[in-house]
Structure 1
Amino acid sequence: MIDAATELYAEQGYRGTSLRDVAARAGISHPGLLHHFPTMEALLLAVLEHRVAEDVARFGLGAGRGVEALRRLVDLAAWNQARPGIVELFVVLSAEATAPDHPAHAYFTARYDAAAETIATAFADAQEAGQLRGDVDPDVAAHRVVALMDGLQVQWLYRRDAVDMAGELRDAIDGLLRDPLPGR
């Protein structure tokens, strides 16, 4: 059900998809879907939480410290280049959710706050280890990295052949560190 909803949201947007559409795509009855997800909002939040859980598990996001945590962000960007449907879904939903009445508004607000906090902590850890340039503020750098990641996703969706999300992100982070990220 979550995979079916993910596909449909990527194809039609959240507001263009109904629970009946998701049930049909998943091959179950509408009442069967309602048993698991009584509202569209519940299904949307399950889709978003599923994506985050997959990414956290695959890359250990939040587990690494300093430059290791920053390198994992680059790994995530590289992985996303193999998942255009997921990237498109995220871009569409995050844009739709800017409306305060959107059911995912609070989710995305919290997600952006958590992402900035996690990345700021990674930069602060790098600073403490002497790996961050002296003129870099970890909080400012974190917000810029979040903005860069989102902007690169939009550009990549338009020009997949010309935009390397992982490479651009790596270059930007490398520019903030005393030495390049490991694993190049």
Structure 2
Amino acid sequence: MNRREEILLAALDVFAERGYTGASIAAVAERVGLSQQGVLHYFPSKDRLLAEVLRLRDERGLDVIALPGADGRITLDTVASIVEWNTERRGIVQSFTVLAAESVLEGHPAAAFFRERYGSARGWMAEVVRAELGDALPGGVTPEQAAPLLFAVMDGLQLQWLLAPDEIDMPALFRAFLALLGAARPAG
């Protein structure tokens, strides 16, 4: 692992623990045994460090999203597998949850990142839902309405799992929600 990646991984942990606002370059520097100037040599500002941490987080997460379904495309089962895989990546899930929540604050440097990320994700998720379930889901829900609901369930389950990992079975609950949409049988 090179020094730049070591700093990014340390920053990911610090942002997960303290949020962007509570994190400092000094805390990241301490984790990797550098001075603040040493970290600033690689990342000229805290905002730039955050941007690179978010990029790294998505790069590592996209490895799973890119796993195609049986016929070479992303399916709802693939998405359910991501939820299951997230139970093995507590630190990444925690950093995402903290940074996504903080990004709603006025002027937060990650606001544009999360707006764009959710916007594009809603688009591809609607297409996945349409491909598997058609245009009309139970209750008259459209794929465009189901997409943000799926992400709300995923994000909400992640938050609850972080708070009570022994009580919240993210994969089973997500599959139960898919069953409500008519996509799968609940696990169990």
TM bucket (normalised to shorter chain) is 0.7 to 0.9
Query: Is the Cα contact below 8 Å between 1:66 and 1:126 reproduced in 2?
Result: no
Q: Matched residues in 2 for 1:155 and 1:71: separation?
A: 22
Q: Matched residues in 1 for 2:149 and 2:173: separation?
A: 13
Q: Identity over the aligned pairs, expressed in percent?
A: 37
* SS of 2:181 mapped into structure 1: coil
Query: Is the Cα contact below 8 Å between 2:100 and 2:114 reproduced in 1?
Result: yes
**Structure 2: gaps (5+ residues):** 1-6
Aligned positions, number? 180
1:15 is aligned to 21
1:180 is aligned to 184
**Structure 1: gaps (5+ residues):** none
Q: Which amino acid aligns with 1:180?
A: A
Q: TM-score normalized by structure 2?
A: 0.84
Indicate whether 1:57 and 2:63 are aligned: yes
Q: Identify which of structures 1 and 2 has the higher relative contact order when contacts are C-alpha pairs closer than 8 Å and 6+ apart.
A: 1
Q: TM-score normalized by structure 1?
A: 0.86
Map 1:25-174 → 2, pairs under 5 A = 25-60=31-66, 68-127=74-133, 135-174=140-179
2:4 is aligned to none
Q: Which amino acid aligns with 2:113?
A: Y
Q: Matched residues in 2 for 1:8 and 1:26: separation?
A: 11
Query: Is the Cα contact below 8 Å between 2:65 and 2:74 reproduced in 1?
Result: no
Cα displacement (A) at 1:180: 2.3
Query: Is the Cα contact below 8 Å between 1:66 and 1:122 reproduced in 2?
Result: no
